Structure 1
Amino acid sequence: MNFVGTFWSLVPPIIAIALALITKEVYISLFIGILTGALLFTGFAPVATVETLFEVMTSKLADSWNIGILIFLVFLGIIVALMTKAGGSAAYGNWAIKKIKTKKGALLSTFGLGALIFVDDYFNCLTVGSVMRPVTDKFSISRAKLAYVIDATAAPICIIAPISSWAAAVTGYTSGDGFSLFLQTIPFNLYAWLTMAMVVYISISGRDFGPMKKHENAAKKGDVFCGINEEVIEQPSPSSKGKVIDLVLPVAFLILSCITSLIYTGGFFDGVPFITAFSECDPSLGLVFGSFITLIFIFILYIPRRIIKFKEFADCIPQGFKMMISAILILILAWTLGGFCADKLEAGAFVQNALHSTSIAEAIFPATLFIIALGLAFATGTSWGTFAILIPIVTAVFPEGSRILVITISSVLAGAVCGDHISPISDTTIMASAGAQCNHVAHVSTQIPYALTIAVCCFLGYIVAGISKSFIATAIVSVVLFVVAMYIVSLISKKENINEKEAK
């Protein structure tokens, strides 16, 4: 039986995700999903299955984009280790405690920092996590909550930022003036706006629900890991000479160097216009350049001032690598699983054929594409891959310049980000876990109820958008739906509080 291009192409990630959520063991679950994909592709031939499995894995490891991301991860791990060793993180944490007086302030500060780092989601997750961990720990905020705030800010802020690696990716998948089309989708990207609104609401109100409440209750008792701490990596002992500037300057330089490196790879310094350079940049290579330059800057900043010794600087290199081993392993397995779905079993072809063979009314097309994009991104773990599959279909169906084209592409972007947000095999979700140093399955299981709450509001909002084609009508209905959803959340939170008191 031929499983290529059929519904079976989605079965491997479904198995991996289900097992991860049930067993709480992400590595074995991903490997079983990969093995399932290899068995389906080879028709259950044992020798061919093993050969194909390692062929796909090595091809993903040989991919220049993936290698760049892994190098960036290692460099960023080294940067974090150096800032910790120099005492910059501790000094910033002490300073933040004096300036940030409440748990609410700590969460909003995390959200604000994430909103400022809009260039790239990987960069966002890891930088915000390393800077804010000491602060959120001191205010007894669970690592799962920190991971949620990081994850709910990273991709949503990147997908509505005109200058970001995500904007560059979307622009590349559209025909004609892709950048202008992307700008028009920003107001209609309901998932991005509503998710950020939910982060603010949850941060201010403190009304958690579902598995997150358990983690927050444990954090109030001093256990920010809720008893799950296998992801914790021993940090280097900090220097007593460190100052706030020893964290702020490297982070600021990292942001500046990464932006500069991104436009460099797009040809800006060869005369290419800024916007064009950003849309045609190589994010993977740009992030590697930016992080490497930052390492040199940190060496010059720390060593002459004797904040740390040369040997201590060298010792932080393997320490930083160790901090990222878990994220690297999960990424490699997730990429391999995605390779089987996309390249071998052709999940994209299955979705394309299903869409072409189905007659969908124009009015409900945006809502339908939102659900399809959500499911595809959730199953494959890639929003960019979802963009590549669905955006060309949408642009072929609707005329260029039409309002329905803008709305439908917005729904695809929103659905893809939502699916990516809740998928255990998404690299952005993996980065958020790594940045918060939170157990990966704990992060996913605690944020799924939050993300799905917003997804329901988005689905209904896109029905209104498809019918009215009006931003004002869509915005009003979406805000009303959000308010109703948050009211329900408050009721659920209150009920859980009552049940906890009665249980005691």
Structure 2
Amino acid sequence: MQDSIYTLVPPLVAILVAIWRKNAIEALAVGLLLTGLMQMNFAPIEGVVASGSVLLSVFQGVSNQRIIIFSLLIGALLMLIKHSGGVNAFISSLNERNLVKNQRQASLLPSLIGTSIFTDSNLSMFTAGIASQNLFDKFGLSRARLAFLIDSTCSPVSILFLINGWGAYVLGLLDGYQLTDTVGILIETIAYNFYPIIVLIMVYYTAVTNKVYGPLKYASSKIVETSEQQVISNGKARYMLVPMVLIVLVTLLLLYITGEGDLRRGSGSFAVMWAVIFSFLILCVMLLLDKVFNIKQIVQHSVTGIKNLLPAVIVLVLSFAFGDAVKAFGTGTYVSGIMSVEVAQIGLAPLLFITAGIMAFATGTSWGTFAILIPIAVPLSIETGLPPAFLVAAVLGGGVFGDHSSPISDSTIVASIASGCEHLEHVKTQLPYTLVAGLITICLYIVTAVILF
């Protein structure tokens, strides 16, 4: 059964469950259990034990441990930034300086904020959206346009500038393939990750020219009031700016140190984890010295933030486990062998991009998609001789494309909340842009394969 057509069953079942249940956790759990059962010839006890062993092994890897710690701690950090008033103080400082005087500047503001804060897409969207709501109302711009600008900036930037959880996560998925330079491969994906680049071009074209198309042109933008719009008083902008800047600087410094002078060879998971820990501790000291919170309040807010990210961490752990399971089952090896023969090289990247898009659209998240398809893309690149970064980039871009288009995606929901836009209107007005960007991306992958490979 191993290394045969039957190895396709677990990922296909996982995809079907994702489409049916619209739940990444259920899909990954079913896929993991089915892989264990098939490996043990459907012996129930042995199959469950095998699946459990793979799941437990996730926690044994040092890199995985670091990523899990980072993912939980970033929730605590973001909660402290929010409740300390750091985000709202930053927003107030922008308004006080009266830096925005026309529609073009109003449109550029959320785009620039979204581009600058790439350590966490949700924080980026909330900051850009809340900072711009009143300005968009003032200059007669629809909230749907604001939702499009922040949604189409923050996620693409996060998948391009991978000094964040996405980068650490993908690095974890790339482990175990005897790749000599996983950080280098991750950096190289930027040049091949056409979808987010195209979407960012669309964003800045819209902001600079003030032109919109399709349903967005006629958006009514019924404003939705949310609790996120409430301003917390007595905050200071440095409560947001200092930890965000520190995460970037410390990550780069530790990549340089662990890579012995070469950022590409540094330990991504080590760098990001300690950057977040350091930033979290510095923020805690700042809040204690300024008497914003006492130790008990810091612990309470941190625990709440960690709890909020538990579902995402469960997806993370199951993603690693399922990726390891299908890797050991030989799914990637089998698919790469079939596709290298049956699918022309120019069609591999477009096929991976489309498949990733469908999966992410169905589940509302790209992380589970990466876990299923990266273990297929890497062996496929080894089999065909195509650069790993080329095919991995197709998976990453496809995941963001599906995530962008899905009405159940957390990013589209957060963008609607942060902009005060009715959710279905945001989905309807953004979809034509994502589809056009997706079609252009497919064409570019074909052209790139023809020219370069």
TM-score range, shorter chain: 0.7 to 0.9
1:195-344 equivalences under 5 Å are: 195-201=199-205, 205-207=211-213, 220-222=222-224, 240-266=233-259, 272-273=260-261, 276=262, 278-343=263-328
Cα distance, 1:372–1:99 mapped onto 2, change above 3 Å: same
**AA at the equivalent of 1:222:** V
| Number of residue pairs aligned between Structure 1 and Structure 2 | 416
Q: Please state how far the C-alpha of 1:6 moved relative to its aligned partner.
A: 3.5
* 2:378 is the alignment partner of 1:392: no
Cα distance, 1:144–1:326 mapped onto 2, change above 3 Å: farther
In the alignment, what sits opposite 1:151? 155
**AA at the equivalent of 2:349:** F
In the alignment, what sits opposite 1:354? 338
- How big is the alpha-carbon RMSD for the aligned residues of Structure 1 and Structure 2? 4.7
Unaligned runs of 5+ in 1: 225-233, 267-271, 396-404, 471-504
Q: Is the 8 A contact 1:370 1:412 kept in 2?
A: yes
Q: Is the 8 A contact 1:250 1:297 kept in 2?
A: yes
Q: Please state how far the C-alpha of 1:23 moved relative to its aligned partner.
A: 3.5
In structure 1, C-alpha distance between the alignment counterparts of 2:112 and 2:7, rounded to whole Å: 39
Cα distance, 1:437–1:206 mapped onto 2, change above 3 Å: closer
Q: Please state how far the C-alpha of 1:349 moved relative to its aligned partner.
A: 0.4
1:368 pairs with one of 347, 364, 368: 347
In the alignment, what sits opposite 1:417? 396
Cα distance, 1:184–1:208 mapped onto 2, change above 3 Å: same
In structure 2, C-alpha distance between the alignment counterparts of 1:30 and 1:171, rounded to whole Å: 19
In structure 1, C-alpha distance between the alignment counterparts of 2:308 and 2:212, rounded to whole Å: 30
Normalising by structure 2, what TM-score?
A: 0.72
* 2:364 is the alignment partner of 1:381: no
**AA at the equivalent of 1:333:** L
In structure 2, C-alpha distance between the alignment counterparts of 1:65 and 1:261, rounded to whole Å: 15
Q: Is the 8 A contact 1:191 1:414 kept in 2?
A: no
**AA at the equivalent of 2:244:** V
In the alignment, what sits opposite 1:112? 112
In structure 2, C-alpha distance between the alignment counterparts of 1:67 and 1:52, rounded to whole Å: 21
Q: Is the 8 A contact 2:255 2:271 kept in 1?
A: yes
Q: Is the 8 A contact 1:125 1:151 kept in 2?
A: yes
In the alignment, what sits opposite 2:140? none
Cα distance, 1:77–1:436 mapped onto 2, change above 3 Å: farther
Q: Please state how far the C-alpha of 1:331 moved relative to its aligned partner.
A: 1.8
In the alignment, what sits opposite 2:441? 458
In structure 1, C-alpha distance between the alignment counterparts of 2:370 and 2:243, rounded to whole Å: 31
SS of alignment partner, residue 303 of structure 1: helix
Q: Please state how far the C-alpha of 1:222 moved relative to its aligned partner.
A: 0.6
Q: Please state how far the C-alpha of 1:369 moved relative to its aligned partner.
A: 2.4
CA displacement 1:42-99 (0-9 Å, x = unmatched): 3332222221222222122332222211211222111112112221122123334565
In structure 1, C-alpha distance between the alignment counterparts of 2:332 and 2:103, rounded to whole Å: 44
SS of alignment partner, residue 291 of structure 2: coil
1:44-193 equivalences under 5 Å are: 44-96=42-94, 99=99, 108-116=108-116, 123-125=119-121, 127-129=123-125, 131-132=127-128, 134-135=130-131, 140=143, 146-147=150-151, 149-158=153-162, 189-193=193-197
Cα distance, 1:371–1:287 mapped onto 2, change above 3 Å: same
How high is the sequence identity, in percent, across the aligned residues? 19
In the alignment, what sits opposite 2:364? none
SS of alignment partner, residue 290 of structure 2: coil
**AA at the equivalent of 1:352:** S
In structure 2, C-alpha distance between the alignment counterparts of 1:422 and 1:177, rounded to whole Å: 27
In structure 1, C-alpha distance between the alignment counterparts of 2:269 and 2:179, rounded to whole Å: 23
SS of alignment partner, residue 59 of structure 2: helix
